[in-house]
């Protein structure tokens, strides 16, 4: 069968790609569109390294088919900074040393941004609950939570 | 590589026609959080996927005579974020909130949770306790059935291969009614229920229980509606003695498995404890609503 021809909006720009039915959005992003910022940790929905938003909803791109995003709006880590200016979340992750190997970081950032869009002033508990689907093997989470809370504070003041 | 077809019909009729006409294995695709994992591990190899998320009725949440009807493919997060729904259906939301991470809930649907037919599915005992009614469509038209009639065993349902679960109706609750769902897992989050319990009860003006439905998950081949456990509360003020009877009836209904996550004896014991705790939460909530 012919491949699917999909058109969508990726980080604000139109994008087109061809994919097989079984190809996930994660595979399309990394292998067809060469956007390797989104990571694969497990490919089964458990780790959150592949987090992106589709139509404004936070999802695991390893559990979405490429064919399903026809006409949809997709946001990935590549769209987070404006040119060379980092997003406040990215800046605070650096300041708080909220990453070591960095594999979980793009997913953490996308998930955290999705939280702050809904809740600009989250409690620590709300941050921990929202990020429970993002696993990190390095940091022990505290620095990540601190960075998210600090970024939330800065974004509220801005 | 086998060519797998993907279709995204805009109407229920078109979706049913696709399933009826399929020669090989065909599957409805909702959030894909079970299906895509099963495809990846090779457990199933469908030749046709029928994505139902473009069918408006399958993703709508609408107030219905004091209750709520929601499309079977509605993502769990849409239910969690729907204020009126969460207020009207607290027990169902208790269950829905437990379905994986925020990311998983961004895709996972209650229809998929029901049709995947895991005995530990978190929305199912809550729906059964709430008396939820499923609308199903097939080549012969629509039919309705209670949620407890859908799963028949692990991974098996009473739906024909060309039937689709369209929507679920959580009926209006009488005054002084509320529900609750609890699960027990070895970890606090992101785990599969070892035992779970849903309780829905109605009090009269004097605080006497007039109706009660109790459902248990993960203690048998499918979620159970335990009428003896509900009966233990009816006619009582849900006092200590009634809760004791409820716990005993819940434990007696279990036919659990032994596995690394819990022995039979343990699951039976915990089922009674959880049913009791869920009843207490439902009672506290019922006393607060008028
Ligand atoms: C990391 C992770 C954690 C999870 N944690 C939990 C948890 O804590 N508790 C829990 O209960 N579940 C959990 N799940 C399982 C899963 O998310 C749920 O079962 C989910 O509700 C399935 O819904 P879906 O829309 O993704 O279904 P899909 O994967 O799209 O479908 C599941 C099955 O149901 C069929 N189906 C779907 N919709 C219909 C319909 N409308 N009519 C007929 N058939 C249909 C499909 O063909 C398929 O066989 C978890 C999954 C993951 C990946
Ligand atoms: S790679 Fe998608 S959740 Fe782990
Ligand atoms: S920084 Fe290594 S996994 Fe999080």
Q: What is the pLDDT of residues B79-137, one digit of tens each?
A: 999 999 999 999 999 999 999 999 999 999 999 999 999 999 999 999 999 999 999 99
CA B246 vs. chain centroid, Å, equals: 21
Domain boundary among A56, A79, A102: A79
**What is the dihedral sign for C-alpha B224, B230, B232, B237?**
positive
Q: H or E element: which one contains A92?
A: helix A88-95
Low-confidence ranges of chain A (pLDDT < 70): 1
- B160 shares a domain with B60: yes
pLDDT beyond 90 at B153: yes
**Which residue, B170, B190, B225, sits at the end of a domain?**
B170
- Domain boundary (A79, A100, A121) is at A79
Counting the structural domains of chain B, the total is: 3
Query: Would the CB atoms of A133 and B102 count as touching at under 8 Å?
Result: yes
Q: What is the DSSP letter of B174?
A: P
Q: Give per-residue pLDDT as tens, B238-254.
A: 999 999 999 999 999 99
- The range of the structural domain enclosing residue B263 comes to 177-288
Residue A26: CB partners within 8 Å, gap ≥ 6? A38, A40, A43, A50, A60, A61, A62, A64
**Residue B108 Cα, ligand 1 centroid: separation in angstroms?**
6
ipTM metric: 0.97
Question: Residues A16, A67: one domain?
Answer: yes
**Mean predicted confidence (pLDDT) in B151-157:** 97
Question: Do residues A60 and A114 both lie within one domain?
Answer: no
Same-domain check for residues A94 and A152: yes
Is there a contact between B238 and B131 (Cβ–Cβ < 8 Å)?
A: no
State if residue A103 touches ligand 3 by the CB under 6 angstroms criterion.
Answer: yes
Residues B39 and B87 in one domain: no
| Domain finish residue from A36, A62, A79 | A79
Same domain, residue pair A63 and A104:
no
Do A118 and A73 reside in the same domain of the chain?
Answer: no
pLDDT at res. B189? 63
Cβ pair B67, B171 in contact under 8 A: yes
By the 8 A CB rule, do B54 and B133 touch?
Answer: no
Residue A47 shares a structural domain with residue A17: yes
Residues of chain A contacting residue B8, judged by C-beta atoms under 8 Å apart: 67-68, 70
Atom index in ligand 1 nearest the CA of residue B191 equals: 8
pLDDT > 90 fraction of chain B, expressed in percent and rounded: 90
Contacts of B107 (CB under 8 A, 6+ apart): A57, A59, A60, A63, A64, B31, B32, B33, B75
Q: Determine the Cα–Cα distance for residues B210 and B201; give it in Å rounded to an integer.
A: 8
The H-or-E segment that residue B27 falls in is strand B26-29
* Beta-sheet strands, E only, within A95-140: none
For residue B213, give Cα distances in angstroms to A33, A40, B132, B177, B182: 52, 43, 11, 11, 14
CATH classification at residue B18: 3.30.43.10
Q: Flag whether pLDDT at B23 surpasses 70.
A: yes
Which residue, among B18, B103, B10, has the nearest Cα to B59 in the 3D structure? Answer: B10
What is the domain range of residue A28? 4-79
Confidence grade of residue B192 (pLDDT, cut at 50, 70, 90): confident
Q: pLDDT of A24-37, one tens digit each?
A: 999 999 999 999 99
The CATH number linked to B214 is: 3.30.390.50
**Alpha-carbon gap, residue B288 to B286, rounded angstroms:** 5
- Closest residue in B to A127 (Cα) is B102
Domain count, chain A: 2
Q: Are residues B42 and B72 in the same domain?
A: no
Q: How confident is the model at residue B290 (pLDDT cuts 50, 70, 90)?
A: low
Q: What is the pLDDT of residue B1?
A: 46
Cα of A94 vs centre of ligand 3, distance in Å, is 13
Strand partners, B168: B70, B134
Query: Who's near A129: CB < 8 A, 6+ residues apart?
Result: none
Token output for A35: 């956007």
Instruction: Look up the CATH number of the domain holding residue A122.
Output: 1.10.150.120
Q: Is B188 a residue whose pLDDT tops 80?
A: no
The ligand whose atoms approach the alpha carbon of A102 most closely is 3
Q: A109 and A46 in contact (C-beta within 8 Å)? A: no
Helix (H, G, I), strand (E, B) or coil at B9: coil
Q: How far is B156 from chain A (nearest CA, A)?
A: 22
What pLDDT, on the 0 to 100 scale, is given for residue B190? Answer: 65
Q: Which of A4, A48, A65 sits opposite B101 (nearest CB)?
A: A48
Q: For position B258, what pLDDT does the model report? A: 81
Report the residue from B3, B31, B103 with minimal CB separation from A133. B103
* A16: CATH: 3.10.20.30
Closest to A137 (Cα-Cα) out of A22, A47, A4, A38: A47
Mean of pLDDT values over B7-26: 97
| Cβ-based neighbour number of residue A81 at 10 Å | 12
**What residue in A sits closest to B49 (Cα-Cα)?**
A21
Residue B261 has pLDDT above 80, yes or no: no
Angle between helices A142-157 and A105-118 (to 10 degrees): 40
The radius of gyration of chain A from alpha carbons, rounded to an integer in Å, stands at 16
């Amino acid at each position: 069968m012919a491949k699917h021809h999909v058109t969508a909006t990726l980080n604000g720009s139109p994008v087109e790609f061809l994919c097989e039915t079984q190809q996930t959005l994660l595979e399309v992003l990394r292998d067809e569109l060469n956007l390797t910022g989104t990571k694969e940790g497990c490919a089964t929905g458990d780790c959150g390294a592949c987090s992106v938003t589709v139509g404004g909803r936070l999802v695991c791109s390893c559990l979405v088919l490429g064919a399903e995003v026809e006409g949809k709006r997709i946001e990935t880590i590549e769209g987070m900074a404006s040119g060379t200016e980092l997003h406040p979340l990215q800046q605070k992750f650096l300041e708080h040393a909220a990453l070591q190997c960095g594999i979980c970081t793009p997913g953490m950032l996308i998930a955290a941004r999705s939280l702050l869009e809904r809740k600009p002033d989250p409690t620590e508990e709300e941050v921990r609950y929202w990020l429970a689907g993002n696993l990190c093997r390095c940091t022990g989470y505290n620095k990540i939570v601190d960075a998210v809370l600090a970024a939330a504070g800065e974004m509220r003041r801005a | 590589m086998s060519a797998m077809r993907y279709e995204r019909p805009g109407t229920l009729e078109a979706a049913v026609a696709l399933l009826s006409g399929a020669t090989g294995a065909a599957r409805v695709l909702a959030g894909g959080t079970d299906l895509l994992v099963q495809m990846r591990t090779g457990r199933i190899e469908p030749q046709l996927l029928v994505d139902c998320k473009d069918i408006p009725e399958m993703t709508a949440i609408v107030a219905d005579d004091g209750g709520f009807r929601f499309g079977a493919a509605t993502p769990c997060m849409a239910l969690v974020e729907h204020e009126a729904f969460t207020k009207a259906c607290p027990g169902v939301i208790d269950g829905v909130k437990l379905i994986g991470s925020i990311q998983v809930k961004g895709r996972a649907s209650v229809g998929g949770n029901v049709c995947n037919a895991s005995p530990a599915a978190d929305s199912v005992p809550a729906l059964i306790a709430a008396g939820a009614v499923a609308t199903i469509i097939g080549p012969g038209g629509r039919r309705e059935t209670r949620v407890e009639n859908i799963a028949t065993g692990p991974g098996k349902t009473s739906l024909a291969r060309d039937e689709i679960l369209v929507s679920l109706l959580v009926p209006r609750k009488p005054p002084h009614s509320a529900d609750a769902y609890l699960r027990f897992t070895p970890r606090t989050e992101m785990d599969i229920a070892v035992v779970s319990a849903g309780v829905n009860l109605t009090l009269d003006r004097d605080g006497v229980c007039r109706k009660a439905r109790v459902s248990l998950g993960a203690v048998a081949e499918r979620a159970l509606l335990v009428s003896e456990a509900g009966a233990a509360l009816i006619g009582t003020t849900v006092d200590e003695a009634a809760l004791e009877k409820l716990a005993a009836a819940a434990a007696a209904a279990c036919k659990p498995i032994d596995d690394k996550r819990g022995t039979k004896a343990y699951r039976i014991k915990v089922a009674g404890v959880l049913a009791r705790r869920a009843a207490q939460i439902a009672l506290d909530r019922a006393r607060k609503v008028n």
